[in-house]
Structure 1
């Protein structure tokens, strides 16, 4: 009975959140980052494999509309990139050759061309950087988005801007490149998403399951420094459920992530890509500082 009352209280906290926007060291749902770090990769050695780099990323990068169940970010794509985010998680709905951006049923008022143009603009301004982009089909079930993706690349970006290999590039080879992590069928367009070492236990039915989610994140972060340095590690800290909105999970998990990383400060660790909902500029900077 006591546990049931606690769960109902936690559910009420999520369904009826109090207060306005938050901009703290671990969680930020305000419109703009506290500070920017747009060219942090310029200080990395060209000879390092990209898989050896520790970098921040965002889950469902473009999910800024649709209410509490659908929204995962509050910053625009340009603001995320300039804040230091280097991994993008992009979900496209395929309808008659068109690729609109969705999070489930929630249309994000953008199409894939807007995402590509945003990356092109950023890399033109900061050619020392690279951008990783997971591309996945969402909502539609055509299982055939390759041709549409290629068409959009030619229209809104440049074929030469892509990294056309399954092999892991060095930092020098990756500079100025968009690396598509191909989470769809078809000929090679970039690196295969499935070839990476991924932890993405996104199902968090209620806030009572947040500790279990953190255990999954913690386990994978502990494996990354001792894992194969030629293989990229991706750790998703994001999670959601009917009684655990992305924002509520992010506030709790991001805080635990910050405490964990604080304990590792000063150590020579590779954590790979750490992918978050509603990250704040200080925790992004903390992740970058492990390089």
Structure 2
């Protein structure tokens, strides 16, 4: 039997348990989607942070967020959301990315030149009302001067402070760029991205680990964008806040980057790439359809769909950082929230890096060869409590071996040395 077949027979991927948990939200039938182009979310999870240990730092929590959170108007080019901020918060979103310009003596939401018909005051009113009803939560707000860093910068900052004074009881200004959850519960926290003239208003954006490559020249750059998203998930450090933007635009519509669809509707068909090939290495994560033997047509898949699929198949680390999305559906939001639960390990999982970080592989049966992608790179593992596993230095269970039965650990003396695995007990 060849190695590829052995590998496929030895792997099992898993998704969230059906058992109820404090992290669970409520899903309306028909809205179990990773991408949503509706003005009704079909999913609510108002207080999921009550299930999170308050001694955790924000960097240790997987948080769903939205990109250009107020941009609902102007057509397919500027629109990035269909849900109002109040609905986003009810859905479980806890990171908002907002952009304002100082115009007519106020701060008005814009996406580029397109007004979004909302003020900074209306935003803080919605956020504060939500926090008053849900004091277990916190909301991170990245705020930017959409007119440019120097556009009316003094008036921008002065109006910011005038409005903030009305909502100061709901505002936390942490001493650290990575506060404990308990220190900011019931509060909103700004992530600064405009000139505050030496003042301290919240978390400094420069302290964050950010992937925000938004420029796609054509639709065919979508796969490159997905690879950047994927790589960033593997690079996350639990001691530093991470922002991973799934969004993109310029040469593609925002809805297309999120969905890969032929039109923006939630259930629109996926767009064909125009490629039919027998080459399995061409866009390997995109779906194959209409196959004739090994000859298959490749269709686009959006960053929302791909991220959701990889979470459900346990191909990403359990900790996801802040995931920033256009048009998020309830299924993806729920999967991000659920990743904060206790690991529901159903098999051995081996990881590329120490402390169960980096790319991972779920193993259910003996593996005489771990595959080219994992040969000599395993650094840590986790397994169910009743399992016992033996790791071998060479293929076909040869060379030095190390037996482990603890639920998780680092490889230490056999770091980057493992080529085959036996399951001794399960």
SS of the aligned residue for 2:339 comes to: coil
Q: Give matches, 1:1-291, under 5 Å.
A: 25-95=33-103, 97-140=105-148, 141-144=151-154, 145-155=156-166, 157-159=167-169, 161-186=171-196, 187-224=199-236, 227=237, 229-242=238-251, 244-251=252-259, 252-264=302-314, 269-291=318-340
Q: CA deviation at 1:268?
A: 6.7
Cα distance in structure 2, aligned partners of 1:143 and 1:180: 17
Q: CA deviation at 1:222?
A: 0.9
Structure index of larger Rg = 2
- Seen in structure 2, the aligned counterparts of structure 1 residues 160 and 24 have a Cα distance that, compared at 3 Å, is closer
Q: CA deviation at 1:250?
A: 0.7
Of 197-206 and 126-135, the range deviating more from structure 2: 197-206
Residue number in structure 1 paired with 2:399: none
SS of the aligned residue for 1:264 comes to: coil
Tell me if structure 2 keeps the 8 A contact 1:235–1:273.
yes
Residue number in structure 1 paired with 2:22: none
- Seen in structure 2, the aligned counterparts of structure 1 residues 26 and 162 have a Cα distance that, compared at 3 Å, is same
In structure 1, stretches of 5+ residues that fail to align are 1-21
Tell me if structure 2 keeps the 8 A contact 1:132–1:180.
yes
Tell me if structure 1 keeps the 8 A contact 2:131–2:170.
no
Cα distance in structure 2, aligned partners of 1:80 and 1:106: 21
Q: Normalization by structure 2: what TM-score?
A: 0.60
Q: Normalization by structure 1: what TM-score?
A: 0.86
Q: Which has the higher helix share?
A: 1
Residue number in structure 1 paired with 2:422: none
In structure 2, stretches of 5+ residues that fail to align are 1-29, 260-301, 341-426
Q: Which runs of 4+ in 1 moved over 3 A?
A: none
Q: CA deviation at 1:100?
A: 0.3
Residue number in structure 2 paired with 1:12: none
Higher relative contact order (CA 8 A, sep 6+): 1
Q: CA deviation at 1:29?
A: 0.9
For residues 236-264 of structure 1, what are the alpha-carbon distances to aligned partners after superposition, in whole Å with 9 as ceiling and x for unaligned? 0000023x100111101111111111122
SS of the aligned residue for 2:249 comes to: coil
Q: Which has the higher strand share?
A: 2
Cα-Cα RMSD? 1.7
